[in-house]
Amino acid sequence: MEFVVISLLNGITYGLLLFMLSSGLTLIFSMMGILNFAHASFYMLGAYFAYQISTWVGFWPGLLVAPLLVGAVGAAVERYGLRRAHRFGHVAELLFTFGLAFLVEEIVHLIWGKVAVDYRIPLELDGTLFTLFDTSFPIYKGFMMLVSVGMLVALYMLLTRTRIGLIIQAALTKPDMVEALGHNVPRIFMLVFGGGTALAGLAGVIGGNAFVTEPGMAAAVGSIVFVVVVVGGLGSLTGAFVASLLIGCIQTFSVAMTLSITDVFALIGVALPEGSQVARLTITQLAPVLPYVLMVAILIFRPRGLMGARES
Amino acid sequence: MSSIFSRGRLLLWGACLVVAIALPLVFKSGFMLSLLCQIGIMVVFALSYNMLLGQTGLLSFGHAVYYGLGAFITMHTLNLIGKDGSPLVVALLPLVGGLAGMLAGVVLGYVTTKKAGTTFAMISLGIGELVAACALMFPGFFGGEGGVSGNRVIAKQAFLGFTWGPQVEMYGLIVAWAFLATVAMFALTQTPLGRMANAVRDNPERAEFVGYDTQRVRYLMLILSGLFAGIAGGLTALNYEIVTAETLNAHTSGVVLLMTFVGGIGFFYGPIIGAILISVMQIVIGGMTHAWLLYFGLFFLFMVLMAPGGIASVITVQHKLWQAGLLGRMLPHYLATALPVLVLLAGLVGLIEMGYALLAGEGVGAGDTATKVMGMQLQLNAPEPWAAALATAALGLLLTRWIGGRTRVAWNAALAALHGDKA
């Protein structure tokens, strides 16, 4: 029971963080048709910007300023890079973001070096929020949940209750019509790209010190975010939300399970022959593979994802 | 068949082979030889990748899987043969790698090629990550962190005088395999399957109407591409005598994609140019500066934005201009643009190198305050070098914009004349 509750809490925290990343990615995809390979790079930039700001003026200004900076960088990338690549078609766009991810990692190497930086949780948030079954739940995880849920609500309100949100929704499906009505669709695209990357930056700000801020963090989380978006269904925010929580929980549960494959088969009454390497693997060892297995399975059996409206 | 083996083509192929064989006679150093070996392997790998991206329109992010599996199977086979084999068997081992890559293509391709476009890209990424993660889970087969190593010199007696021990002999083996594979891959583009692959790339709907199963065409192309990637992997295993999990991870998949794209995906010879260029850059520039990957990233983005057809397309356009007698008109413009671009590059390189030295602590130790850039000894704690580099870059940028604008006008006029001639 203790294991389930604690893992569930951790899984939800991680899942909400994943949603912050995947929501931006899926918004950008459904609007502009661009699978942004560099999305996780903006997450990394958010963490590094916040670290740099925290060394100068502390954590709290960074929480606000770093995502804005990342969003500005994202908007500039859209304006001066992607818009040009767009003329050459989808492959060029995809390759542009791919090259960008590569470049951002190298720039991070250049500025902050190749080892992890000391980006810490602020003192005010360092401590125990409550204790459950003798396991303490840190304040910072609660804070992460709060920020993620706050962002989720704000995003929902923005998209459904404001004028700009309605225009964005309209531009999702009928960009030509929206343009004909006199809205500047390229600028809306730039805003969405900037907003999406700012969300990724915010995830970086609160995720960077919860985990570790190092040049490999983009690659580590990048492919998982892709899995989330594909499993949830390309272009579906609700799907991305469900898939984020699902993957978050799968990750945290599987890491803590010491059952081996033999044990699992024994549970359903099948005895596997002893001694093979595969049968001795534990679920913990399988943990890094599980999201990809899920993704490949989804793509084979339900290519539009859990809640996707269309195929790719 | 006459078109494949026309006299001009035979001459070109023969010339390439002669140059490849003659190169080690000119460049005798061990450094050049290992560079040439690397190029030979990468040419096969990049060409096999272009069978997917260029010919069938499948953007794959997991091509290293076939390359890496080919390399591992070759290495295990080599170790299995042990001391009993002959050098002839070793020479044929890349074929084992090729078959392994092909088998991987049969199994994994069945899943990935069901869809084309973005879905294919995503599944290939997923499969790539899956196999890369598996590599760390099964240290028995993949050798864990240290990889699997072997020895390609296994026999007491030589085969036709070859033991594959010296690097020159290995180079000969690589050239032979690379040449065979390249000819085979080119011949494939002329077959009905190769043509159908192009049709499936350009207009899948219409290809289906004509009665072809697009999924089957994609599947077959992926299997064959896996075969050649596996051959490249087998050559790597023999050349380096060690295979690590690095050979099948996302980084290797990325490098082959970059190589192929930079070379040009629209032409058969594009990936060859890309493989040669990137390998040379990797070893030559990589040996000069730690910032090589940064330059590489910038170069790649520049290519995507400025010449999405790759170097091969640039060459083709120049060739057409030359044939139309317009190249002479453009040459002064090229030269005029080259100068400010060089100034801009000098400024940028200076900034990047100084930045690297100061921040990454390259060289003597962290907090380096002096570095050598382009032969100049610079004090990094003084503002002068930074100001000079910034000014050079800014001047270069201004001049490039100014002269580049005029070149663009001339360029557009030349292109208009070229297409006007055609019409």
Mean pLDDT of chain B: 85
Q: To the nearest whole angstrom, how far is the Cα of A295 from the nearest Cα of chain B?
A: 7
Q: Are residues B241 and B337 in the same domain?
A: no
Q: Are residues B285 and B395 in the same domain?
A: no
**Chain A environment of B360 (Cβ under 8 Å):** 109-110, 113-114
Mark yes or no for CB contact B115/A312 under 8 Å. yes
Mark yes or no for CB contact B122/A35 under 8 Å. yes
Is A122 in CB contact (< 8 Å) with chain B? no
Query: Could you tell me if residue B201 is inside a domain?
Result: yes
Is B365 in CB contact (< 8 Å) with chain A? no
Q: Residues B381, B392: contact at Cβ < 8 Å?
A: no
Mean pLDDT of chain A: 82
- Predicted confidence (pLDDT) at residue B46 exceeds the cutoff of 90: yes
Mark yes or no for CB contact B137/A296 under 8 Å. no
Q: Between β-strands B148-149 and B242-243, what pairing exists: parallel, antiparallel or unpaired?
A: antiparallel
Q: Are residues B138 and B221 in the same domain?
A: yes
Q: Between the CA of residue A47 and those of A40, A54, A123, B356, B390, what are the distances in Å? A: 11, 10, 18, 21, 28
Q: Are residues B69 and B31 in the same domain?
A: yes
Query: Could you tell me if residue B304 is inside a domain?
Result: no
Q: To the nearest whole angstrom, how far is the Cα of A148 from the nearest Cα of chain B?
A: 27
Q: What is the pLDDT of residues A15-73, one digit of tens each?
A: 988 898 888 888 888 777 778 888 999 999 999 998 888 888 877 887 888 889 999 99
Query: Could you tell me if residue B334 is inside a domain?
Result: yes
Q: To the nearest whole angstrom, how far is the Cα of A115 from the nearest Cα of chain B?
A: 10
pLDDT, position A308: 67
Q: What is the pLDDT of residues B366-387, one digit of tens each?
A: 455 556 666 666 776 677 778 8
Q: Residues A2, A135: contact at Cβ < 8 Å?
A: yes
**Chain A environment of B117 (Cβ under 8 Å):** 312
> Which of B49, B65, B118 best probes binding to A when mutated, by most A CB atoms within 10 angstroms?
B118
Q: Are residues B59 and B177 in the same domain?
A: yes
pLDDT, position B275: 94
Q: Are residues B161 and B29 in the same domain?
A: yes
Q: Are residues B246 and B138 in the same domain?
A: yes
pLDDT, position B179: 94
CA A100 to chain centre: 17
Query: Could you tell me if residue B169 is inside a domain?
Result: yes
Q: Are residues B290 and B339 in the same domain?
A: no
Q: What is the band of B2 on the pLDDT scale with cuts at 50, 70, 90?
A: very low
Q: What is the pLDDT of residues B105-121, one digit of tens each?
A: 999 998 888 888 777 88
Mark yes or no for CB contact B294/A300 under 8 Å. no
- State the Cα–Cα distance between residues B46 and B56, nearest whole angstrom: 14
Q: To the nearest whole angstrom, how far is the Cα of B58 from the nearest Cα of chain A?
A: 10
Q: What is the band of B72 on the pLDDT scale with cuts at 50, 70, 90?
A: very high
Neighbours of A297 (CB within 10 A): 13
Is A126 in CB contact (< 8 Å) with chain B? no
Q: To the nearest whole angstrom, how far is the Cα of B111 from the nearest Cα of chain A?
A: 7
- Predicted confidence (pLDDT) at residue B103 exceeds the cutoff of 90: yes
Neighbours of A92 (CB within 10 A): 19
Nearest CB to A84: which of B140, B305, B355? B305
Structure tokens at A174: 């009928």
What predicted TM-score, i.e. pTM, was given to this entire model? Answer: 0.86
pLDDT, position A279: 64
Neighbours of A200 (CB within 10 A): 34
- Predicted confidence (pLDDT) at residue B347 exceeds the cutoff of 50: yes
Q: Are residues B46 and B189 in the same domain?
A: yes
Phi/psi at A278 (5° precision): -65, -45
Q: What is the band of A94 on the pLDDT scale with cuts at 50, 70, 90?
A: confident
B160 DSSP 8-state letter: T
DSSP calls for B261-297: HHH-TTSTTHHHHHHHHHHHHHHHHHHH-TTHHHHHH
Q: How many domains does chain B have?
A: 2
CA end-to-end span of chain B: 31
Helix residue spans in A162-184 (DSSP H): 163-173, 175-180
Q: Are residues B54 and B143 in the same domain?
A: yes
Mark yes or no for CB contact B355/A111 under 8 Å. yes
Q: Residues of B numbered 92-121 whose beta carbons fall under 8 angstroms of chain A's beta carbons: which are they?
A: 111, 114-115, 117-119, 121
Domain CATH code at residue B289: 1.10.3470
Lowest mean pLDDT: which of A264-278, B17-31, B171-185? A264-278
Q: Residues B269, B281: contact at Cβ < 8 Å?
A: no
ipTM of the complex: 0.83
Q: Are residues B284 and B349 in the same domain?
A: no
Is B245 in CB contact (< 8 Å) with chain A? no
- State the Cα–Cα distance between residues A37 and B118, nearest whole angstrom: 12
Q: Residues of B numbered 326-355 whose beta carbons fall under 8 angstroms of chain A's beta carbons: which are they?
A: 352, 355
- State the Cα–Cα distance between residues A200 and A195, nearest whole angstrom: 9
Give the residue numbers spanning the domain of B100. 7-296
Query: Could you tell me if residue B407 is inside a domain?
Result: yes
> Which of B61, B63, B125, B353 best probes binding to A when mutated, by most A CB atoms within 10 angstroms?
B125
Query: Could you tell me if residue B245 is inside a domain?
Result: yes
Q: Are residues B373 and B277 in the same domain?
A: no
**Chain B environment of A299 (Cβ under 8 Å):** 115, 119, 122-123, 126
Q: To the nearest whole angstrom, how far is the Cα of A224 from the nearest Cα of chain B?
A: 10
- State the Cα–Cα distance between residues A149 and B370, nearest whole angstrom: 49
- Predicted confidence (pLDDT) at residue A114 exceeds the cutoff of 80: no
